[in-house]
Structure 1
Amino acid sequence: MKIALIAHDKKKQDIVNFTIAYTEILKQHTLFATGTTGKRISDATGLEIHRFQSGPLGGDQQIGARIADNEMDLVIFFRDPLTAQPHEPDISALMRLSDVYQIPLVTNLGGAEVMIRALDAGFFDWRKLQD
């Protein structure tokens, strides 16, 4: 599966910890991330990650384009709901595209753990369910 990993600044350590905990599962998939998040994950885990621009510089939009082109299967986005984001319109557009194209999107650790465990157990192949 093609998985996008994104995190706001105050959530970057959380997504790094998540990817460390689930490296064995994640390494079986094709990973994408926004710039700084991808670098921090790669440095901490050694996972191969295709890095886009940082979110405020267009990374969220680049991932959104992949969603619109049917080239993304899951988005894990650790959002910081308590801090205003200068690129909030880009974040809203990414979330809207996930909804429009029926791409699963989780925005916190609890949802990410449910998704990654379902993926590992073989319960998460939503594209087959659409057939």
Structure 2
Amino acid sequence: MGTMEPLNYAWRDDVSDQEVASLHAAAFAHAEEMEPWVERLQRHSLGWVTARRGSDLVGFCNVVTDGGRHAFLLDTSVHPDHQGSGIGRELVRRAIEECRAGPVEWLHVDFEVAAGPFYLADELFRPTAAGIVDV
């Protein structure tokens, strides 16, 4: 078995619409749909964290901002071949660090019940009451 390339994390790394769409589709088991990821990131995001093995995007999470003190963690994605290895946790940890270094006072995350143990472990986030509606 060959040596696996090192894992590299970055804040606001260049990404393409294609590679984020492919990762998102694989991570969430849905059909790949081309979306304007780069345009959205540039327009709405405080930043995003990437995880790469060589040139391959294997992890991603996005921090969207309200332009003030609140930010929202979205699209935490790890390719299925790399899930369970700590990449997702490191993506989130680095996103939190970047928020602490900037103007953000509150970083919010919404998640399905099954993802609760991931987001609430190691005191990454604390539980709060929230509401949501499908529109």
Per the normalisation by structure 1, the TM-score is 0.31
Structure with the higher fraction of residues in strand conformation:
2
Highest Rg: 1 or 2?
2
Structure with the higher fraction of residues in helix conformation:
1
Q: Which has the higher contact order (CA 8 A, sep 6+)?
A: 1
